[in-house]
Amino acid sequence: MNRNDHLPQGLEPGLFMYKYKYEDAEAHWFHAHRGIEMLYIYSGRGEIMAENQTYPIRDHTLVWFQPYQLHRVLVPAAEGHSYIRTNLTFDPGFLERYLAAFPLLEKFFRSLWRGSLQRPVVYDMQNTPVAAVLEELHYADNSSAADREENMGLLILQLIRLLQKNMSGVLPGDFNNQSRGGSHAERITGWLDEHYKEPFSLETLAAAMHLSPYHISHLFKDFAGITLSEYVMQRRVREACILLANTSRSVQEIAAEVGGYSPSYFSQMFKKQKGISPEKYRKSIR
C-alpha cells in the first residue's frame, strides 16, 4: 500500500517533479501540494475527493489539482485491476516565460491555476494526444541534452494547449470570451483579488466598476459560476492555505489577516470549504 499523509518538502522555484506511468495494486493519498499537480490515470478504479466533492476514477481520467488544494485519492485493491498513472507536479511560475507570447493560452492557464474550477476531473481522454505528449515528456525528462529544460517547458506548454481544447465544463463561463461582459468579469475579479482582505461592499465595487450593483452581481455569477461573496470567501481561504503552509503564524493571526475574522468563525468557514480544520490542513501539507 502506498500511503502519504504528509506532503514532501515544497518545490524549489521553477522546478518540477515528474513520475511517468507507474503502477500499484492500490493507493491511499491525502495531501496538498505547493505546486500544480496534473494526474493522468491510464487504469484504475476508486474515487478522488477535492473540495468536499467526490469523483469516480475511470480509465483515462485526467485530474488537475490547484496549488494548496487538499485532495484524497483512494484506489482499493481489486483482483485483476491495477492503478497506473503519470504524475506531473510543477511550480506555476515555471511556465510564465513560455506563455508570454500566447495571451489567450496564458489567460486559460491562469484560470486553471487560480480560478474557480467547476470540477478538477476530465474523463475519456484516450482519444486525445495527451498520453503521447506525456510519453515525450518522459523522454525529455531523462535526456542529458543542453536544451532539456526548454524541451520540457515547451512540452508542458503543449499539454496546456491540449487541455484548453479538451477541458470543456471544467472552467465556468467562457474564459476566452472577449465580449464586453467577459472584460467586465475580468475587471471585477481583479478588483476582488486586490481588495479581498477588506470588508466586502457591493456598493464600493459597483462604484469602482461604474456599473450597477444588480448588473455586477448577475454578470459575475454568469461568468464565474459562483456569487461575489463566494468568490471572496474562496480567495480568503486560498490565501489562508498559503499562510498555513508556508508560515508559522497562528490561526488567530491568519484569520485576522485574510478577512478580519475571529478564530472560531474562520475555523468554521475553513472547515466548511476544505473539510478539515486549519490545524489539520497545516499538518497535511507539511
Residue 157's pLDDT band (cuts 50, 70, 90): very high
| Model pLDDT for residues 207-219, shown as the tens digit of each residue | 999 999 999 999 8
Q: Whole-prediction pTM value?
A: 0.80
Alpha-helix runs per DSSP H in the chain = 96-99, 103-114, 130-141, 148-166, 180-195, 202-209, 213-224, 228-246, 251-259, 263-274, 278-285
Q: Output 125 or 283, whichever has higher pLDDT.
A: 125
pLDDT value at position 284?
81
Residue with cell 518522459: 138
Please, what is the average pLDDT of the chain? 86
What pLDDT was estimated at residue 182? Answer: 59
Region of 169 (left: φ > 0; alpha: ψ -120 to 50; beta: rest) is left
Query: What pLDDT is stored for residue 5 in this prediction?
Result: 34
pLDDT above 70: residue 236: yes
What value does the mean pLDDT take over residues 69-86?
91
Instruction: Encode pLDDT of 165-187 as tens digits.
Output: 887 666 665 444 444 455 788 88
Mean pLDDT score, 49-57: 90
What residue spans of 100-227 are helical by DSSP H?
A: 103-114, 130-141, 148-166, 180-195, 202-209, 213-224
Instruction: Average the pLDDT over 195-220 and give the result.
Output: 92
pLDDT at site 278: 93
From residue 280, give the alpha-carbon distance in Å to each of 3, 222, 235. Answer: 17, 34, 20
- Pairing status of strand 83-90 against strand 16-24: antiparallel
Cell of 71: 485532495
Mean pLDDT of 22-27: 92
Instruction: Tell which wins on pLDDT, 232 or 167.
Output: 232
Which residue type does 179 have?
S
pLDDT at 2: 39
Three-point CA angle 159, 171, 22, nearest 5°: 40
At residue 200, does pLDDT exceed 80?
Answer: yes
Average pLDDT over residues 86-97: 90
pLDDT confidence of residue 172 = 61
130 grid coordinates = 495527451
| 149: number of Cβ within 10 Å | 16
Q: Which three cell numbers stand for residue 171?
A: 472552467
Cβ-based burial of 50 (10 A; exposed 0-12, middle 13-18, buried ≥19): buried
Q: Among candidates 64, 2, 69, which has minimal Cα distance to 37?
A: 64
Q: Is the pLDDT of residue 240 over 70?
A: yes
pLDDT of amino acid 78: 86
pLDDT in tens, 107-143: 899 888 988 788 899 999 999 999 999 999 999 988 8
